[in-house]
Structure 1
Amino acid sequence: MHVFVRLAGVSAILLTTGTCFAADRMKPGLWEMSMKSDAVKAMPKIPPEQLEKMKQMGIKIPDMQNGGMTHKVCLTKEMVEQDKPPSGGRDQQCQSKNFTHSGSSYSGEVVCDMPEMKGNGTIKGSYTPDSMTSIYDFKGVSHGKPISQHMETTGKFIGSDCGDVKPPPMPQKK
C-alpha cells in the first residue's frame, strides 16, 4: 500500500508537470486521469472493510481495474499558469529536474530522496488544452526493496467546475 500512496503522490507531481510551459496550456478545472502502472497491477485487492475505513477517513479511492486506476483531479488556474515544474510539495522530497519542452511536448527527470523511497525517474508527454498523455519510468528502492515502475497516464478535461474535488496541495514558496 505504501508504494500506491507514494505513486499517487508522484502522479500529482507528474500531472501538473505538463501544464508548465506552453502557450496552449491545459485548461483549469476538473480532469479525469487514467493511469496504468506496474504498481497497480501488482497491488493486492483491498478488502471492502478496509476500503470503507479509508473512505471514512476522507481518503478518496480511485476506481481500480485491469491494472489501472481512474480518478478525478482539479487543476487550478495557478497550477496551469506556473512557469516551472512543481516540486514534490512540503511532505514529499521528489524533485523535478532537467525539464525541457518544445511546443506542447515535455520531458524531464524526477529524483526522489525520501527515507521510504529513493530513486530516479524519467517522464515524457504531451498535452492540449483538453487532453494529456505521459509515460513515466522509475527505478529505485522503496522501504528497502528494489522497485522498477512504469506508468502511462492519459487525461481528459471534463469541465471548469471541480465540484467537491479539491486540487492537490501546491508546494510552499521558499
Structure 2
Amino acid sequence: MRKTLLSISFLFTVSTANSAEFNMRPGLWEMTTKSDLLALVPRIPADQMQTLTNLAKQYGLDMPKISNGAATSEVCITQEMAKQKIPTFLSQNQYGCDIKDVTQTGKDYKINLICEGAILKGNGVTEGIFTSPESFTGRTEFKGVVQGNPVNERAYTDGRWMGADCGAVQPLRAHR
C-alpha cells in the first residue's frame, strides 16, 4: 500500500513538472514535492524502499531526497519535452491513469487524471502556474481507491530551473 501511495506522489510530481507547453525552459530543474504521504516514508521497510528506488530508475530518475514530508529531486527536461503539451512518457498509462483535458491559459495550467487500473481507481487534478520560465508552483489532488483502500491525497510541488546543462542527470524517459 505505501509503495503504491508513494508511486502516486511520484506520478504527480512528474505530471506537474511537465504540464505547460511553452513556459518551461529546458535544462536541469530542482523539484520539491510535499505531501502527507511522503511523511510516511520513514516507516517504509528497506526492501520496499529498494523497490521504489528501482522504479524511479526505470523513469530515468534517482530516488529523490525525502525528508520532513518533502521529496526533492533533480530532473532533466529536454527541449522536446518542454514543448510537449502532454509529455509522451505520461500518456503511456503507467499507473492505469489517463491524462484528460489538458488546458493552459497564459501561465496557468490544469490537467485532469482519470485512473481505472487494477490497483489505482479514481480522479485527480493537477493545477499550477509558471511564475517565470524558470519557476513554477502547483498542486495535485487525487481522490479514489488504491488497492481497495480509500485515498484523498494532496501534493504541492515547486520547481526551479537550475541551468541549461543537465550534467549527469539523464532526461526522463518512458517506462518500459
- Relative to the length of structure 1, the TM-score reads 0.82
> How far, CA to CA, are the matches of 1:167 and 1:52 in structure 2?
21
Query: C-alpha offsets along residues 23-71 of structure 1, whole Å, 9 cap, x if unaligned?
Result: xx21101100000012102334446687678768984221111111101
Aligned counterpart for 2:32 among listed residues 31, 34, 39:
34
- Relative to the length of structure 2, the TM-score reads 0.81
> How far, CA to CA, are the matches of 1:97 and 1:125 in structure 2?
16
Aligned counterpart for 1:144 among listed residues 144, 148, 153:
148
Aligned runs of 1:80-159 on 2, under 5 Å?
80-82=82-84, 84-86=85-87, 87-89=90-92, 91-127=94-130, 128-159=132-163
> How far, CA to CA, are the matches of 2:54 and 2:116 in structure 1?
31
Q: Could you tell me which residue of structure 2 aligns to residue 68 of structure 1?
A: 70
Q: Given residue 7 of structure 2, which amino acid in structure 1 is its aligned partner?
A: V
Q: Given residue 113 of structure 2, which amino acid in structure 1 is its aligned partner?
A: V
TM-aligned CA deviation for residue 102 of structure 1: 1.4
Structural RMSD (CA): 2.7
Q: Given residue 81 of structure 1, which amino acid in structure 2 is its aligned partner?
A: K
TM-aligned CA deviation for residue 103 of structure 1: 0.8
Q: 1:111 to 1:156 in 2, by over 3 A?
A: same
Paired residues of 1:90 and 1:171 also in contact (CA < 8 A): no
Aligned length: 167
Task: Tell me the secondary structure at the aligned position of residue 153 of structure 1.
Answer: strand
Q: Given residue 71 of structure 1, which amino acid in structure 2 is its aligned partner?
A: S
In structure 2, runs of 5+ residues without a counterpart are: none
TM-aligned CA deviation for residue 80 of structure 1: 0.7
> How far, CA to CA, are the matches of 1:42 and 1:78 in structure 2?
35
Task: Tell me the secondary structure at the aligned position of residue 34 of structure 2.
Answer: strand
In structure 1, runs of 5+ residues without a counterpart are: none
Percentage identity across aligned positions?
Answer: 32
Q: 1:105 to 1:57 in 2, by over 3 A?
A: closer
